[in-house]
Amino acid sequence: MTNKVVVLGSLNVDTTLHIAQMPKPGETISAKSKTNSAGGKGANQAVAAARSGAETSFIGQVGEDGNGTFMIDALKHDRINVDHISVDDTHGTGSAVILLDEQGQNSIMVYGGANQAMKPAIVASSEGLIEASDILISEFETPQAVTLAVFKLAKQHGVTTILNPAPAAKLIDGLAEVTDLIVPNETESASLTGIEVTNQASMAANADKFTKMGIKNLIITIGDRGAYYHTATNDGFVPAFKVQAKDTTAAGDTFIGALSSEINKNLSNIEEALTYAQKASSITVQRLGALPSIPTAAEIATQYK
């Protein structure tokens, strides 16, 4: 069965500056090179889902500029439905500047632009698309009010909702109750719960806190260590695949997009889907860039026979 995945999210043109090490406060350094590519958490997640075989559609907004055309064309290249991307004639297309050091670590500065200018009214024209989908994903690079409106609509039609709370921010009222699965990294999870993630007991404590908020299912991604999962019936920790990372950009987004392509609507195969997602993200970190680094299902199957 092929999952029908809808991503509500951000579309950014990424500018990556390749540097030897991160600058100290007040320090001026030289970049060794510069690259531009399509990105944004939403776009990354949608491309990851599409390349893993999901029938993928996108709800988002770009500016009336060349970068907006560039982003729409990038999604079309992966056969993603772009019919529900609107054009804002007031705000520019979102962008990001990424500092990438020789160890593969990054720092990212994001200009929201048209992404942050989205309004809940955008949802009305997307009801048919949402109704026909299996999985709906959103993150925090677009307004939470829009996510809340879309998630409410999804729940009316029995669609499974996945929330990636990144960049970390407090959930607005009502969003937890319409979120089926939340997927933060350890820093984002601790920010939302107030409980530092240090071991499996603290991961379970985070899960309890999310349950009290109204979210019964949780995956915490913990970089190169692996991922913890908790559902109403099961919990556990799945170690990561050990690889030499070149660039961690889009690793978490690849994880979520790949996960959405495999997971059952009732989350009954969460451990298997999580393992597949970790295979995908382990390939992403061995490559440079955001969208260019995301693997296909065939590449994942070849590397992990």
Question: Which pLDDT score is estimated for 104?
Answer: 81
User: 3-class DSSP state for residue 105?
Assistant: coil
Q: Is 221 annotated as a binding residue?
A: yes
Question: Which pLDDT score is estimated for 299?
Answer: 95
DSSP type of residue 233: S
Query: Going from the N-terminus, what domains does the chain have, and what CATH number goes with each?
Result: 4-20+32-299 (3.40.1190.20)
User: 3-class DSSP state for residue 193?
Assistant: helix
Q: Is 40 annotated as a binding residue?
A: yes
Question: 253 catalytic, yes or no?
Answer: yes
Reading the block at residue 40, the tokens are 């944004």
- How far apart, in whole angstroms, are the C-alpha atoms of residue 154 and residue 132? 10
Question: Which pLDDT score is estimated for 160?
Answer: 98
Among the options 65, 78, 134, 253, which is catalytic? Answer: 253
User: Element (H or E) spanning 128, and its range?
Assistant: helix 127-131
Condensed to tens digits (0 to 9), the pLDDT of residues 39-76 reads 999 999 999 999 999 999 999 999 999 999 999 999 99
Nearest-CA neighbor of 138 among 28, 253, 50?
253
Token pair 């994880």 in the structure block, residue: 255
CB under 8 Å to 21, separation ≥6 — which residues? Answer: 29, 101, 102, 103
By CB atoms closer than 10 A (0-12, 13-18, 19+), residue 144 is buried
Question: Which pLDDT score is estimated for 224?
Answer: 85
Buried b (16+ CB within 10 A) or exposed e, 82-104: bebbeebeebbbbbbebbbbeeb
* pLDDT < 50 regions, the chain: none
- How far apart, in whole angstroms, are the C-alpha atoms of residue 177 and residue 182? 11
- How far apart, in whole angstroms, are the C-alpha atoms of residue 160 and residue 154? 7
Cα dihedral 275, 277, 281, 283 sign: positive
